[in-house]
Structure 1
């Protein structure tokens, strides 16, 4: 039974969710950008009026549902993020299953995603990025299913998920264009792909469904007591959001350039202060074993595609490359390491696809990679899960380079 993808996916989801829930309510105070998004979620619960208008509503609405279910405390703020993290892990499993149709690389991908630090940290904080990536990864998985099995319904669901991802953060918007480009190129290369879907229909459905899904998530704003949206102001409001997104911001301690993120030059301390009666820290950092090995895997995928024309090597390499390249053109005055979050997850796909493609030569490498990744996860766990630290300067134990402080 567990050789089939659906039961395995359910197990992956439940295991990931259980891991993310451990110690979720520590600390009981706001962590990093929770100071922005929890008040915005509260405003959506009460419908008082617009708050944090530089971002769409869906991610903040999901945080609000956690507060509605569990109360206005640390569990309520963060619970929905744990579900988003578990969905992300499961979606990576599903994407690799669609690419390889093999159990081992799919499970290795899920395990590496959990051990990759970034998903663990983002699954335990009330920020928008976790929700965005959950919808985005699920949309990619559904599009991959449509590639093999066809069907307008699967493609429409993929489009809706991409629209929902954009409704969490605009960073997901380029992936709608990526999906359109991928469809055209893959369909042109082999007309048997996406059976039952013609290019005009597929592109039309992708555009319409993603746009309608995105706009529909603004429905709560029509019921604000103060400055409610109307049909006439919905589109102009998007321009106001754009102005907020592109404003020039003052310098920040943790700012960094996009090209530094894959090299782990400037991670972010989401927390480092006394909290809940102890010194605690939360470091947003990709697992170095996975991050640096992944760069080699991306190069190998590009090289393998040039040599063999393998579509799956191209897909794995292009997904990571595209997710990073958008930051070279996005008009943001400041960059931060957490913007690398999608890329830090997609790099896992490049690793397992490369290992699977050359599995005759790389037998056992996945086991060694998992072991090394687990060892570092245990080593860094105190500053991933906000465990009590022995002293105020304990951060030195985990800061390998001066730029990690």
Structure 2
């Protein structure tokens, strides 16, 4: 530590003869490497200093500042007079003052290094900053010297002064209680925000669907929400193997409707072929939504078995494993036993009063006849999601009058 100017050297070697004998390019490369390493180290020092300063400031704010204030309260003076050999007021005061000095020294070191970093260059000097900091490190020696007396004093106060014990417990408990309450509030807010955000997204989806679907009867209202959309395949019991009737279904909180893609023409090719137009509704009021019945699953699986068997006959016996794999077909989907919607509801829905005063489809009880809709999904997760939301919507619509 006799000569801190060595910090400012730009060469990594201290053998002058070797430096002079090396090629100039090598010297430049070494100097550049050394400058880069020094910059990296200074950045690391700044980061560690900033963290250390924060911890010291927390220590002062949450513990030493309150203890210093407690020491100077008149009603606590007798405590130190009762136990002069074990309880040193001076030790606590010195602890407070020395900690402030150490914190200030690190703040000045950090501030000086940050200023040099802002004007950094290959020949930037920083040795003076460390020299100034070194002059202040004697505070650490003083800190270590008072530690024994400070530890005994704090232990004595805890054991023999109920006022000090209560004071410290209140300080600690207040901080802990505040943190616990804050955590509880954030947890509560997170739960509330999740529900609100989910609801607002469902509302925005109503707006998006209203704009993107031609002749969409589900206009945007304050209460309408769009729960789920997706492709569903409607199964015809007379021809269960057919997958032609695959359409986009949209489940609102008061409408269950389906759409079809607009076929591309010369006029709309530029717009893309993913546009949809409204095709119809399924009445969910007083509807029954159930998983696929065993009978209908058997019908669909039998068809697949027959198809696989025909393929097997046409192929060689080496394809038997493929045929067995085909037999193990898993079908996902659900059934809707729905009331037929009344014609009045549909007429009003498509009338000129759209969005102002029309009967929402599904709010009519229907004409009394039941209709079975068998829907297939791609996965079990889709099946469960649709069943859950359809039942929820059906219950809401059935309760409305």
- TM norm structure 2: 0.19
Instruction: Name the TM-score, length of structure 1 as normaliser.
Output: 0.19
Which has the larger Rg?
A: 2
Q: Which one has more relative contact order, counting CA pairs under 8 Å at least 6 apart? A: 1
Q: More strand by proportion, 1 or 2?
A: 2
